[in-house]
Amino acid sequence: MGRQRTRMEVWLGCGVATLAVVVVALTITIIVMVTKKSDTLPAAPTAPASTVSTVASTTSTIAPPPADPYQQPYNENLYDTIVRQNLAQQADISTQLLQEFQPMNIRDNLRWLTKTLHVAGTPENAAVMKQLGQQYQSYGLTLKTHDYQVLLSYPNYSMPNTIEVQLAGQMDWNLVSNGTAQLLGPPEAMQQENDSRALNWWNGYAKDGVATGRLVYANYGSLTDYVLLDSHNISLQGAIVIARYGDIFRGAIAVEAERRGAVGVIIFNDPLDYANDLPASDTFPNTIWLPPSGAQRGTLLQTDGDPLTPFYPAKPYTYRTTDEATLRKEHAMPNVPVTPIGYRDALTIFQQMTGPEVTGDFAQWKGGMNVTYRMNGGDSTFRLTVNAFTDMRTITNVVALFYGADEPDKWVMFGNHVDAWTFGSIDPNSGTATMLEMARVVATVSNRTGWRPKRTLAFCQWDAEEYGLVGSTEYVEEHLKLLENRAIALLNVDNINGNVTLAAKGVPLLYRALVDAAAKVP
C-alpha cells in the first residue's frame, strides 16, 4: 500500500507540530544553555548577620530552619546567582525556540522528502539524501557524509510475487495472490501515488525462487506455535507455511519454519490484529485501520548492519568475512522463498483450504477473517513464486553538526533514517521533516540572539535502516571510539503515528527531562 499524503498531511499538521514542540522542549531540558557572549557575573550579595535564637537549654543555640534560597535573597551565594541566571536564560531561549516553529515548514519538508519512492541504495534515495544535506547546509550547519558499500535486496517490480493453488484432482493452477496492493485514497492522493512499484508486496532478503508443496497454518509462527505443531505430530517437511504477523519478528517466523523443513513461507496481516476486527468499509482510507490489500513489508535479516561485514564498517577496503550463500545456510537470512500478503489474499487462500478446523489446543489460532480457519490445505498443492535479487549498493549517512559553545566535542544526537519501502510519509519522514525544522529553528534563534547550546547538536540521518539498521550500525562500527568519547545523549526521532497522545521511552536518566519537556507543550 502506498502513501496517502493528502489525508496524512492534514493530520500531520497537528501531530508533527506537537512532536516538534516536545522534542525541542526535551532538547532544551537536556542541554545546559549558555551564550557565546561572555557575561560578567555580579559580585555575590553580602548576606546579613544570621539571627540566632536561644532555646530553653543554656548550653546550645540553633539557627532557624533555612529559608528557600530561591525566594530569600539574603541566603543567595555566587553559585545560586549563576544557577538563577542560567535558568532564566534557558527559559527565555526555550520560549523563543518554541515560538519559532512553523508547522507549515514541516509540511513542506514532508512534501519534498516523499515526492518519490526512495528505497535504500537507489538513485531516488541518493537524491533525497543529497538534498537533505544541502538543506542542513543552508541553515548554516556543518555537513559530513559517510558512504558504505552494503548488500541489499530488491524485488523484481515487473514480476510481483505470486501464490497459486492446484486443487486436489485437478491439473490447472489457480492464482490466489498477485502480489500487489490496491491503490486507495482520495483522488489527489491517488494521482500523487503515480509509481506502481509502491504496490508490490515483498520482504527484504527473501530468497528468489519457487516453492511447491502442501500448505500448513502456523498461527503467529512463534516457537511456541511450532512446538505445538510438533507435539501433535504435524510435520512441516516439504510444506509451505502460512503465518500471521503480530507476535514475533518476521525473520524468526521464516527461520523456524525453515529449520523444520518448510520450503516456503507466507506471512499475512490478520484483521483481528491490524484492522480491529472491523469490516473493510471501516478501514483505510475511511479510518486508520489496515485495509484488506495492505501488507507489511520488512526485512528478514536476523542481524543488524551489513551482513557481509559484521563488526567492521562496510568500506570498499573492508574484507568481506562471509558471503550470501553462507548467510542463508546459517539462517542469518532465509534460504527459502518468503512473501507478505494482505488479508484480502489470505482470505482467498483459506477459502481454498480443506484440512481440519483449528479446534481444541489450536482454538486460539482463529483470527478475524470471515472464513473457517483450517490447519492445512488438505490435498491441495500450493505454489509460491518470489522474484527477488541481492546487490551491492552504496548508501550514505548525512550528519549535520551545530557546534556547541563550551563543549563542542560533546554531542547531543538526534537520529532518524530516511530510506523507506515506498514513499515513507509516516515511517520515517514525518520524523525527518521535523528534524529539519528543528535545525532551522536552532540556527535562526542562534543568529538572532547569539545563543549557542553548551554542547554540539548532531542531526543524524541514517540510510538503509529498513533493511536492518544498516546505515546507523555501519556508522557506529566506523566511529565507535569517537562516539564513546563524544556522545552524551541520543534522541530517536523516527515517525509519528497513532493519536496526539505522547508516548516516549528512554533511559531512567532522561525520565525527568521527558516530563519537563512534555509540560512545556501548550
Which residues are known to be catalytic? 465
How many angstroms separate the CA atoms of 419 and 468, rounded?
12
For residues 485-506, b (16+ Cβ closer than 10 Å) or e, as one string?
ebeebbbebbbbeeeeeeebee
Sole residue written with cell 482467498: 348
What are the two backbone dihedrals, phi and then psi, of residue 435, each rounded to the nearest 5 degrees?
-60, -40
What SS3 string covers 47-99?
A: CCCCCCEECCCCCCEECCCCCCCCCCHHHCCHHHHHHHHHHHHHHHHHHHHHH
Q: Are 505 and 515 in contact (CB under 8 A)?
A: no
Nearest residue to 295 (alpha-carbon basis) of 326, 341, 237? 341
Q: For residues 102, 103, 106 and 107, what is the CA-based torsion angle, rounded to 10 degrees?
A: -130
How many angstroms separate the CA atoms of 341 and 385, rounded?
13
Q: Please count the other Cβ atoms lying within 10 Å of the Cβ belonging to residue 356.
A: 12
- State the Cα angle at 163 between 157 and 165, rounded to 5°: 155
First to last CA, the chain: 35
Q: Is 57 exposed, middle or buried (CB count within 10 Å of its CB: 0-12, 13-18, 19+)?
A: exposed
Instruction: Give one DSSP letter per residue of 15-34, joined into a string.
Output: HHHHHHHHHHHHHHHHS-EE
Rg of the chain on CA atoms, in Å: 29
Read off the DSSP letter of residue 364. Answer: G
Q: For residues 276, 281, 282 and 288, what is the CA-based torsion angle, rounded to 10 degrees?
A: 100
Sole residue written with cell 557506529: 476
Which residues are CB-neighbours of 58 under 8 A, at least 6 positions away?
A: none
Read off the DSSP letter of residue 116. Answer: S
How many angstroms separate the CA atoms of 504 and 69, rounded?
34
How many angstroms separate the CA atoms of 207 and 17, rounded?
41
